[in-house]
Amino acid sequence: MADEPVQGFLCGNSARTVLCGGRAVMRVPTAITYVSALTELLPGDVIATGTPDGVGLARTPPRWLADGDVLEVDITCVGLLRNNVVIEPEPGRQPRWRSIS
Indicate whether 30 belongs to any domain. Answer: no
> Residue 37 — very low, low, confident or very high, per pLDDT cuts 50/70/90?
very high
Indicate whether 74 belongs to any domain. Answer: yes
Asked whether the beta carbons of 73 and 38 are under 8 A apart, the reply is: no
> Which residue segment(s) compose the domain that 15 sits in?
5-21+52-84
Number of domains in the chain: 1
Cα–Cα distance between 39 and 57 in angstroms, integer? Answer: 30
User: What confidence score (pLDDT) does residue 33 get?
Assistant: 92
pLDDT tens track for 9-30: 888 887 766 655 556 677 778 8
**DSSP 8-class letter at 26:** S
Indicate whether 62 belongs to any domain. Answer: yes
User: What confidence score (pLDDT) does residue 86 get?
Assistant: 87
Q: Which residue has the higher pLDDT, 49 or 13?
A: 13
